[in-house]
């Protein structure tokens, strides 16, 4: 198919070229976008696009930005090239319909492309209307408006440069700037290499999409299965599923559409593997829809459990999304059942131990299925299945935490820290000096993580005393408090902070410091090594008791 880049972008914006439902989200970083624009400027090839040309109207995915000028019929579905085409479409949007972060600009002086928020300097230049930083929306020709529009656009930019005295003495740079603007105006004029996949079945299109995407970032089988689900008789549940995935608490935990689809498949079939799915798995619309209703309720209950009881309300604190699937399966299999104290203990132990030992790392589908199978094989009802879930954790993964593990743990959101947060929330630990419970802090559901990992012996304070960074980044020196309390404590001497606290504030701090007034000298910087040794041992003991592996 013979088509220019400009025509391709125009068809994309008009809705004639759409994204099939299995396309991933737009993820290209700024660096890749700027290299793409630079390649066009240098007249280098930018790769081929693949379009599935069909007269049928299949479900489509909303493109990034959600902007469509008009809709005058389907031309085709983009099977390969979404990241490039979306980048090109966003780059030439104007002030009225484009986000500054994604709009592109050309620096006439150094012949370089930038996005509006590439750097603070660029953003400032855009805000000040720097004529030498040309918005692509003001110069790149997309519509077939002819040579007159091009000449007029170039002259308007030159006039702006003259007004800001940026053409040099006696306008010595005018000629070279005109040449650059002429080249820039034709940025989207080259042909777009476009392969057309015509009049094939939808299943063939899925297969081609999968093969085309195998060469880049590995396409998840869930993308294809999601497309099949959307195209089958069950298509009406895809909208609600995507709606759930778009909810704030789901997005914050990293529970996307593919996760929900995997939960649905597991609940519906008792097996989470996409590779084992027959193409006809979703043919019985009523059964799949019933499975989705059960799945949705179970997902919400599981999310509530881990966020309210463990404080795992953001993705950085959640050890594994895959570990949630057996719990979802359990709750969906027994709708209406609430967890008793004993049931909760077994489910909690399963989540904590699999998180601590990273059991679902490596081959997560196989791991999930082993726990789902344990639930399927269990007899005796809901409580016995809860017990089976906890009992499935291998005995060789139940060994006690040693104090050296705490001392050597440097990651602020490592598995040990995630389990530590669960322990603190279960014990109703408080942040200090405010005295707010960590559970209440988590429940605020702020746009960013409401919790902070606080260095008890602050970095800035200790570095001033010639301590090395490696000595400071250890779990034995970490506490979990609110962001507000972390800002208040800042870089102050921990011993002076302790002495300034009121008795009730010291009580709150002692839950994590693991000592009372009698041990307060450990907060003197000269006792730092003794503090680490003492606290790492205390934390290990507390965690083992919490996990039931003491």
> Where does a domain end: 338, 363, 397?
397
290 and 383 together in one domain: yes
Strand-pair category, 49-53 with 104-107: unpaired
> Do 389 and 426 belong together in one domain?
no
Cα distance between residue 82 and residue 61, in whole Å = 11
Asked if the structure places residue 509 within a domain, the reply is yes
Rg (CA), the chain: 29
Contact yes or no for 307/442 (Cβ under 8 A): yes
* Terminal alpha carbon distance of the chain: 69
The pTM is what? 0.69
* In a domain? residue 200: no
Q: Round to whole Å and give the CA distance between 225 and 282.
A: 10
Indicate if 103 and 231 belong to the same structural domain: no
What pLDDT score was predicted for residue 216? 43
Q: How far apart are CA 81 and CA 212, in angstroms?
A: 10
**How many residues are recorded in the chain?**
550
Question: Degrees (nearest 5) of the Cα angle 269, 275, 281?
Answer: 40
What is the tens place of the pLDDT at every residue in 115-172?
Answer: 999 999 999 999 999 999 999 999 998 876 566 788 999 999 999 999 999 998 888 9
Q: Where a domain ends, among 185, 210, 244?
A: 185
Name the residue among 454, 455, 457, 453 with its Cα closest to residue 528: 457
Are residue 270 and residue 349 in the same domain, yes or no? yes
Residue 190 lies inside a defined structural domain of this protein: no
pLDDT value of position 71: 45
The answer to whether position 415 is within a domain reads yes
Check: CB of residue 295 under 8 Å from CB of residue 267.
Answer: yes
Range of the structural domain that residue 142 is part of: 5-185
pLDDT at res. 198: 77
Beta strands in 443-533 (DSSP E): 451-455, 478-482
The answer to whether residues 110 and 243 belong to one domain is no
- Structure-token match 């989705």, residue found: 292
Give the span between the Cα atoms of 398 and 354, in whole angstroms. Answer: 10
Verify that 349 and 422 share a domain, yes or no.
no
pLDDT at 1: 61
CA-wise closest residue to 207 among 79, 17, 56:
79
Q: Is residue 207 part of a domain?
A: no
Q: Under 8 Å CB-to-CB from 216, ≥6 apart: which residues?
A: none
Does residue 193 lie within any of the structural domains? no
DSSP calls for 408-438: H---TTSHHHHHHHHHHHHTT-B-TTT--BH
Residue indicated by tokens 């954790």 = 393
Residues 21 and 168 both lie in one domain: yes
Is 454 found in the same domain as 355? no
Low-confidence spans in the chain with pLDDT less than 70: 1, 22, 66-74, 144-147, 199-203, 206-207, 210, 213-235, 550
Question: Going by DSSP bridges, is the β-strand pair 112-115/194-198 parallel, antiparallel, or unpaired?
Answer: unpaired
Which tokens is 104 given? 């592109």
Chain-centre distance for alpha carbon 328: 21
What total number of domains does the chain contain? 3
Residue at 487 is within a domain: yes
Strand partners, 451: 482
Half-sphere exposure at residue 491, Cβ-oriented, CA atoms within 13 angstroms:
8
Return the DSSP state at 447: S
Q: Do residue 322 and residue 456 come from a single domain?
A: no
Domain end residue (candidates: 346, 381, 397):
397
Q: Are residues 292 and 390 in the same domain?
A: yes
Say whether both 320 and 254 belong to one domain.
Answer: yes
204 in any annotated domain: no
What are the residues whose beta carbons fall under 8 Å from the beta carbon of 408, sequence distance 6 or more?
474
Give, in degrees to the nearest 5, the angle at Cα 98 between 94 and 102. 110
Residues 6 or more apart whose CB falls under 8 angstroms from that of 547 comprise 349, 352, 353, 356, 401, 419
User: What pLDDT score does 224 carry?
Assistant: 57
Q: Check whether residue 426 and residue 374 sit in a common domain.
A: no
**C-alpha span between 24 and 29 (Å, rounded):** 15
Identify the pLDDT of residue 219: 40
């Amino acid at each position: 198919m013979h088509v220019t880049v400009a025509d391709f972008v125009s068809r994309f914006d008009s809705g004639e070229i759409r994204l099939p439902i299995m396309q991933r989200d737009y993820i290209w970083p700024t660096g890749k976008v700027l290299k793409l624009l630079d390649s066009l400027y240098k007249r280098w090839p930018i790769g081929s696009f693949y379009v599935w040309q069909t007269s049928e109207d299949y479900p489509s995915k909303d493109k990034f930005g959600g902007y469509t000028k008009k809709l005058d019929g389907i031309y085709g579905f983009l099977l390969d090239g979404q990241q490039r085409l979306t980048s090109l479409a966003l780059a030439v949007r104007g002030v009225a319909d484009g986000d500054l972060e994604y709009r592109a600009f050309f620096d006439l002086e150094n012949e370089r492309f930038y996005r509006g928020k590439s750097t603070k300097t660029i953003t400032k230049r855009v805000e000040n209307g720097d004529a030498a930083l040309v918005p692509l929306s003001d110069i790149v020709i997309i519509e077939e408006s002819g040579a007159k529009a091009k000449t007029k656009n170039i002259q308007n930019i030159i006039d702006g440069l003259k007004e800001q005295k940026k053409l040099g003495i006696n306008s010595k740079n005018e000629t070279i700037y005109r040449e650059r603007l002429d080249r820039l105006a034709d940025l989207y004029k080259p042909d777009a290499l476009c392969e057309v996949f015509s009049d094939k079945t939808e299943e063939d299109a899925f297969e081609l999409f999968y093969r085309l995407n195998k060469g880049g970032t590995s396409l998840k089988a869930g993308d294809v299965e999601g497309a099949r689900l959307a195209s089958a008789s069950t298509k009406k549940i895809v909208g609600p599923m995507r709606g759930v995935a778009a909810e704030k608490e789901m997005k914050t935990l990293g529970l996307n559409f593919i996760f929900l689809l995997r939960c649905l498949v597991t609940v519906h079939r008792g097996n989470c593997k996409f590779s084992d799915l027959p193409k006809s798995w979703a043919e019985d619309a009523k059964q799949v829809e019933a499975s989705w209703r059960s799945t949705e309720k179970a997902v919400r209950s599981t999310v509530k459990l881990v966020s309210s009881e463990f404080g795992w309300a953001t993705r950085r604190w959640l050890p594994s999304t895959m570990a949630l699937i057996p719990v979802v399966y359990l709750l969906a299999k027994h709708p209406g059942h609430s967890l008793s104290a004993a049931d909760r203990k077994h489910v909690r132990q399963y989540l904590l131990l699999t998180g601590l030992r990273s059991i679902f790392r490596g081959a997560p589908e196989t791991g999930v299925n082993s726990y789902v199978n344990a639930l399927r094989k269990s007899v005796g009802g809901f409580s016995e299945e809860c017990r089976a879930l906890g009992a499935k954790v291998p005995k060789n993964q139940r060994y006690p935490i040693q104090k050296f593990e705490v001392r050597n743990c440097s990651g602020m959101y490592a598995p040990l820290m995630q389990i530590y947060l669960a322990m603190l929330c279960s014990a109703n630990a408080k942040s200090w000096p405010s005295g707010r419970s960590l559970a209440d802090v988590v429940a605020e559901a702020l746009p960013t993580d409401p919790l902070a990992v606080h260095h008890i012996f602050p970095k800035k304070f200790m570095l001033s005393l010639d301590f090395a960074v490696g000595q400071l980044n250890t779990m034995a020196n970490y506490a979990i408090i609110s962001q507000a309390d972390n800002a208040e404590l800042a870089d102050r001497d921990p011993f002076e902070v302790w002495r300034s606290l009121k008795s009730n504030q010291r009580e709150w701090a002692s839950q994590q410091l693991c000592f009372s007034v009698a041990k307060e000298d450990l907060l003197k910087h000269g006792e730092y090594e003794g503090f680490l040794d003492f606290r790492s041992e205390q934390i290990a003991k507390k965690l083992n008791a919490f996990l039931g592996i003491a």
